[in-house]
Structure 1
Amino acid sequence: MKGKKKMLLKKIKKVLLSLVAAATVSATLTGAFGATTVSADTTNAQELQLDAKAAIAVDAKTGQIIYGKNESQLLPVASMTKLVSIYLVLQAIKEGKLSWDQKVSVDDASYQVSQNTSLSNVPLKKGNTYTVRQLYQASLIYSANGAVMTLANAVSGSQKAFVDKMRTLLKSWGINDAEIYTASGLGNNEIGNAKYPGAPTNAENKLSAKEMALVSQKLLTDYPEVLKTTSIARMKFNNGTSETEMENWNWMLKGLAKAYSELPVDGLKTGTSDSAGADFTGTVNKDGHRIITVVLGAPHTSDTDVSRFTQTQKLMSYVYNNFTYTTIKANQSFKGAQQLPVYHGKELKTKAVTKNATAVWLKNGLSTASLQASLKGNKKLYKNGGLEAPLAKNKNIGTISLQVKQQPLTYLNGATSLKLTATNTQKIEKANIFVIMGRAIKNFFTNLF
């Protein structure tokens, strides 16, 4: 009996050890390969299968991320770089440092690049001058590399100085990991003696889909007139002795190969290279609601490949078909975030409502009733646990944060909830000394007993 019992204990011990080992291996595999986790920076990626390395869809006004796939991964962006360059050109014009009709001469590096027929270009001529407007149009419509290099020189005096300006601009927007070496998006080895000093020969510009969306949002917000040019399907460029027919590389524009009547796309910029594949940052305003989409690393087998536009159409359609643009009105209150305490006021509480109207994209089937609210008071106005009276009407008394249990709310600025300024609906006078004393006495006896 003792021998049998001993053998039984050994078997039990062996089984327990096997179970522990299996659990350990399972945990190790899960941790190593993420078998049960979803990328933290991905929203709805599993609901839409896109043939692209990374993608994102955002609301152009609020920056809400409606869809994301590997949106924080740094990838080559090729000629989509020009959106950063064009922002700086428009900024220089706004500041009076450039003018639309100003004539600009072409330096040797820009000229040499413009003669490369394997790249997207309008052929510039030595000794000729071109207006800022001509070069701007060629850069946006035809992705002309020599043209945008010429604009960069006009803004900053040299390619290096302009690239440094691009880097500074991106950092001012909170984009700190971008790799920027050229104004055009070409590789550092493709721009001759204008290459960025000290950088690797094969260095190329890299941004994430999320960062490209932020660049586009900034451009559309600060310079919405850019759409007047990005929406042009065809235009001729006069280089002095001949004309170049420029057909926009954005084939989703009306009248071009991948136009889709349900999606009136009016911008923004394509990008193509061997390492990048086919990229496209697009924007569309449907039913008065504008979104920005970015597709990085779509397949690119030839110059006639339309994959990036097919993926963009799928992404745009997914947003408009599966989400509802839901308005949140001004002066709206939410359960659980309706009031804040007031210190030494005639009233001890004040109602909190939204200061301005805004909107949020909610999955179909959800409504404002699905929003969960929290309220945080403005600490600058606080004293002894309450907003110090007197308080003027419509004072910015705090922040209402909205979340949805069934749908993550994330934004380009890093916010993980919809944050709205809260104001009070009525003027709160300060209580007189007798009321204040009376309250103090009442509180004393209440706490005493």
Structure 2
Amino acid sequence: MFFSKKIKRVAITTVAAVSIFSCGAVFATTPVNADTTSSYQADQVKLNVKSAIAIDSDSGQILYAKNAAQTLPIASMTKLVTVYLTLQAIKNHKLSWDQKVKPTAPIVKVANNAEYSNVPLKLGHSYTIRQLYQATLIESANGAAMLLGQTIAGSQKAFIDQMRAQVKKWGIEDAKIYTACGLPNGNLGKDAYPGVNKNAENTMSAKDMAIVGQKLISAFPEVLETTRLAHLNFKDAGHVTKMANFNWMLKGLSQYDQAYPVDGLKTGNTDAAGACFIGTVQHNGARLLTVVMGARHRDGTDPARFEQTKKLMNYVFTKYRPVTMTAGSQMNGAKTIKVTDGDNATTNLGLKNKTTIWDPADGKTLVASLNKKSVEAPIKKDQTVGDYQFKSGNEKIVSLSNPNGMNVKAKALSANNKVNFFVRIWRWIFGGR
């Protein structure tokens, strides 16, 4: 059984200082260092999965991690990279939503294999990019994902090479990608990636998958308009395939719970991968992104990956309070910075951008510090002058990009011009600022 009772929301007003106190901790907190972020707070909730992670989708703040750096098969979660490259091609006017394309014989063979999730594409029939995109995200249609890749790159191999290049741009170095859909390489027949074992599967870590989800939502938030759909019809020359989303946590499906109103993103499973799910939900003005990999998968009716996701989301909702601070907000203890050779000795600082910090509900004060003590004049208003880092008591707030902390940009709230040469000489001789 899982908590279905709504957690009481704590109204938090953020002003010039950041100071938050909880009404009492439910879970203990553990000091963090760079060596522990791959299993950050893993002992605080027992998940029956091989690996997992929970992050803030915008900042990448790590809220939980279990074996998050371990590379494992990702199955159909692969399709999020395919979808990213599809949306990118549309943005760059290389594809259009209403463009019609025809599948090749190898794609048709995959698309009509009843052992795989699919919509039954037909040889000689035409399908719009929009249809294929929707089928890829909702029905997890393998043939549709392959046809998107074929259209973008001209061949399956060329598209896989694009996928590999894209994840490397995101800093993902340990991924192995062989198929656009997530099936094992040999299942694609003539479209298998050449020179690779037929049993080879796409692999990433939970951390890698969190980065994929983060990049997709950041660049193309409209993807959530499709991933939130529980049902949709796929029409093909008078024949209708009723698509049902494999994300059973959506409203109207079997694992829906109003306490966790998810609106994406993607499931995946193979024999090697077990059951996987990357999910996302808005909570108190912030967006949470979770990944569970290697959950139990007895058969096609097993809800284990969603049960484990609910446990993870419940932990995050109970353990943390998201605090959103507007651009320009000043941080207590780091309101100013010394300015060398400036008209003024110091310059007032504030947040560069709107920022959300998930504050641990541990009764400790959330405080900020700046990564430098001084800057050189001249300083322009709104110029980035350093990075804030945050702590809750002695616990560092850490992120995907920085396991030793989470850098949040600080800006100058006013200009500070550089004094002329004679004033600098005067100050050097007689002292003063």
TM-score by length of 1: 0.84
Match of 1:351 in 2: 348
Q: Shift in Å at residue 432 of structure 1?
A: 5.4
One-letter code of the match for 1:63?
G
Equivalent of 1:407, from 383, 395, 403?
A: 395
Contact 2:37–2:65 (Cα < 8 Å) also in 1: no
Q: How do residues 437-448 of structure 1 correspond to structure 2 at under 5 angstroms?
A: 437-443=425-431
Q: Secondary structure at the match of 2:39?
A: coil
Q: Shift in Å at residue 388 of structure 1?
A: 3.7
Q: How do residues 278-297 of structure 1 correspond to structure 2 at under 5 angstroms?
A: 278-297=275-294
Q: How do residues 358-377 of structure 1 correspond to structure 2 at under 5 angstroms?
A: 358-366=355-363, 369-376=365-372
Equivalent of 2:313, from 308, 313, 316?
A: 316
Equivalent of 2:173, from 176, 184, 198?
A: 176
Match of 1:119 in 2: 116
Contact 2:322–2:358 (Cα < 8 Å) also in 1: yes
Match of 1:192 in 2: 189
- CA distance in 1 between partners of 2:233 and 2:416 (Å): 64
One-letter code of the match for 2:115?
S
Q: How do residues 73-92 of structure 1 correspond to structure 2 at under 5 angstroms?
A: 73-92=70-89
Answering whether residue 412 of structure 2 is matched by residue 424 of structure 1, we say yes
Contact 1:337–1:375 (Cα < 8 Å) also in 2: no
One-letter code of the match for 2:366?
S
**Deviates most, 80-89 or 347-356:** 347-356
Distance 1:439-1:69 versus aligned 2 partners, 3 A rule: same
Answering whether residue 48 of structure 2 is matched by residue 51 of structure 1, we say yes
Distance 1:118-1:398 versus aligned 2 partners, 3 A rule: same
- CA distance in 2 between partners of 1:48 and 1:280 (Å): 18
Q: Shift in Å at residue 402 of structure 1?
A: 2.3
Aligned residues: 399
Match of 1:233 in 2: 230
Answering whether residue 383 of structure 2 is matched by residue 395 of structure 1, we say yes
Distance 1:203-1:237 versus aligned 2 partners, 3 A rule: same
Q: Shift in Å at residue 334 of structure 1?
A: 3.9
Contact 2:327–2:351 (Cα < 8 Å) also in 1: yes
Q: Shift in Å at residue 244 of structure 1?
A: 1.5
Distance 1:402-1:306 versus aligned 2 partners, 3 A rule: same
- CA distance in 1 between partners of 2:378 and 2:122 (Å): 70
- CA distance in 2 between partners of 1:433 and 1:187 (Å): 69
Q: Higher RCO, 1 or 2 (CA under 8 Å, sep at least 6)?
A: 2
Match of 1:14 in 2: none
- CA distance in 2 between partners of 1:392 and 1:154 (Å): 47
Contact 2:76–2:182 (Cα < 8 Å) also in 1: yes
Q: Secondary structure at the match of 2:107?
A: helix
- CA distance in 2 between partners of 1:434 and 1:162 (Å): 62
Structure with more helix by fraction: 1
Q: Shift in Å at residue 436 of structure 1?
A: 3.3
Q: Shift in Å at residue 336 of structure 1?
A: 4.7
One-letter code of the match for 1:99?
S
- CA distance in 2 between partners of 1:409 and 1:295 (Å): 22
One-letter code of the match for 2:132?
L
Match of 1:219 in 2: 216
Match of 1:110 in 2: 107
Q: Secondary structure at the match of 2:407?
A: strand
- CA distance in 2 between partners of 1:275 and 1:389 (Å): 58
Q: Shift in Å at residue 405 of structure 1?
A: 3.9
Distance 1:430-1:405 versus aligned 2 partners, 3 A rule: same
Match of 2:263 in 1: 266
Distance 1:201-1:343 versus aligned 2 partners, 3 A rule: same
Q: Output the aligned Cα RMSD.
A: 2.1
- The CA deviation string for residues 129-176 of structure 1, in whole angstroms up to 9 with x for no partner, is 111111111111101111111111111110000000000000000001
TM-score by length of 2: 0.87
User: Which 5+ residue runs of structure 1 have no aligned equivalent?
Assistant: 1-36, 378-385, 445-449
One-letter code of the match for 1:146?
G
Q: Secondary structure at the match of 2:277?
A: strand
Q: Secondary structure at the match of 1:41?
A: helix
- CA distance in 2 between partners of 1:352 and 1:375 (Å): 13
- CA distance in 1 between partners of 2:409 and 2:283 (Å): 28
Distance 1:148-1:391 versus aligned 2 partners, 3 A rule: closer
Contact 1:363–1:407 (Cα < 8 Å) also in 2: no
Distance 1:432-1:273 versus aligned 2 partners, 3 A rule: closer
Match of 1:207 in 2: 204
Match of 1:249 in 2: 246
Match of 2:143 in 1: 146
Match of 1:17 in 2: none
One-letter code of the match for 1:404?
S
